[in-house]
């Protein structure tokens, strides 16, 4: 959906381009998405989840495998790379989701309610991991959450009320 006014640029590319090829390129090369539900493919291992995603970018398999292994290590799943989603906890599946989103070294990471299916402790760990990975990889990250407990881990807070963005108001 195009903005009603203004522009959203990522790496100089307009996100509202009507050109489907341009939009696909933008999503493939510039954006990483961490979905609310990990949406992992049941038949693939954690490592394969990352490799299949990067296959779309047509990168060399050896390079992909090395990068995927580093990312799984960074999210604390080096010892779980050969496990399928049903062999992982909810927090571990979300970690695979995060690593998968970072496979393409995106400029922007969009994160939708990453803690909604997790208990408070696992949720806090996931948001801390996102903050760490964001800084380590130099990726601008936008997290949508209803859980204000995670706000202190963010660099900036913007509230949305009635479909409009607002700077935070003290006490809310």
Which of 12-16, 76-80, 150-154 is least confident? 12-16
For residue 34, being part of any structural domain is answered with yes
Structure tokens that stand for 144 in this block: 């949508």
Q: Which domain holds residue 140?
A: 11-166
Report the distance separating Cα 142 and Cα 130, nearest Å. 10
CATH classification at residue 105 = 3.40.50.300
pLDDT value at residue 64: 84
Phi then psi dihedrals of residue 159, to 5 deg = -95, 150
For residue 5, being part of any structural domain is answered with no
Q: Considering only residues 97 and 118, tell me which one the structure prediction assigns the higher pLDDT.
A: 97
| Predicted confidence (pLDDT) per residue in 19-68, tens digit | 767 777 777 778 889 988 888 999 999 999 999 887 766 666 777 888 99
For residue 114, being part of any structural domain is answered with yes
For residue 1, being part of any structural domain is answered with no
For residue 172, being part of any structural domain is answered with no
CA distances to 2, 12, 16 from 9, rounded to whole Å, are 12, 5, 9
> Under DSSP, is residue 40 helix (H, G, I), strand (E, B) or coil?
coil
Q: Which residue matches tokens 């990453």?
A: 114
For residue 69, being part of any structural domain is answered with yes
Nearest alpha-carbon partner for 94 in 127, 69, 67: 127
Q: Mean per-residue pLDDT for 1-26? A: 73
pLDDT value at residue 155: 83
pLDDT value at residue 18: 64
pTM of this prediction?
0.84
Q: Mean per-residue pLDDT for 86-114? A: 92
For residue 41, being part of any structural domain is answered with yes
For residue 6, being part of any structural domain is answered with no
In which band, very low, low, confident or very high, does the pLDDT at 172 lie, cut at 50, 70 and 90? very low
Specify the number of domains making up the chain: 1
Listed as own residue / partner, the contacts of 134-142 with beta carbons closer than 8 Å and 24 or more positions apart are: 134/109, 136/74, 137/102, 137/105, 139/32, 139/102, 139/105, 139/106, 139/107, 139/108, 139/109, 140/107, 140/108, 140/109, 141/108, 141/109, 141/110, 141/111, 142/108, 142/109, 142/110, 142/111
| Predicted confidence (pLDDT) per residue in 102-158, tens digit | 998 898 999 999 888 888 888 888 899 999 998 998 999 998 888 878 778 788 888
pLDDT value at residue 7: 79
Report the distance separating Cα 16 and Cα 30, nearest Å. 14
């Amino acid at each position: 959906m195009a903005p009603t006014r203004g522009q959203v640029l990522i790496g100089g590319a307009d996100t509202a381009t009507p050109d489907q090829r341009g939009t696909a390129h933008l999503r493939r090369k510039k954006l990483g998405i961490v979905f609310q539900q990990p949406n992992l493919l049941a038949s693939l291992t954690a490592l394969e989840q990352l490799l299949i995603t990067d296959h779309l970018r047509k990168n060399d398999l050896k390079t992909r495998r090395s990068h995927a292994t580093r990312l799984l290590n960074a999210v604390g799943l080096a010892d779980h790379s050969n496990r399928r989603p049903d062999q992982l906890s909810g927090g571990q599946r979300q970690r695979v989701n995060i690593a998968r989103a970072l496979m393409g070294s995106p400029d922007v990471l969009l994160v939708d309610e990453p803690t909604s299916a997790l208990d408070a402790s696992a949720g806090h760990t996931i948001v801390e991991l996102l903050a760490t990975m964001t800084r380590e990889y130099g990726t601008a990250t936008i997290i949508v959450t209803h859980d204000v407990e995670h706000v202190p881990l963010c660099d900036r807070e913007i509230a949305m009320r009635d479909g409009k963005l607002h700077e935070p108001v003290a006490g809310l």
